[in-house]
Amino acid sequence: MLQLRPNCEDCDKDLPPESTEARICSYECTFCASCVEELLGNVCPNCGGGFAVRPIRPAIAHRTGVSLTHQPASTKRVQSKYSQQEISEFSRKIRGIAPEYC
């Protein structure tokens, strides 16, 4: 079950469960679309993988027990442990390599 983290790990922008701006890597590291495109170059600073649009969990249970009400989003905010310089250097090294080849 996806955690649906509430913020961008870089700029701390709010990314509520219904946000179309949220991007996640395969480890659920969460960043906003702007940071992924402009700062990270589609390279997760934590694992080196790429990003995908985070799915939106339905707010209404179209099936019994399956909705945001039953599986709420995380409220724990996460911040990257890396500095802007470390992120830029890491991203610059591998941004030209497609995630499937990393």
Residues in the chain: 102
pLDDT tens per residue across span 19-75: 999 999 999 999 999 999 999 999 999 999 999 999 999 999 999 999 999 999 999
Half-sphere exposure of 46 (CA within 13 A, CB side): 16
Q: Is the pTM of this model over 0.85?
A: yes
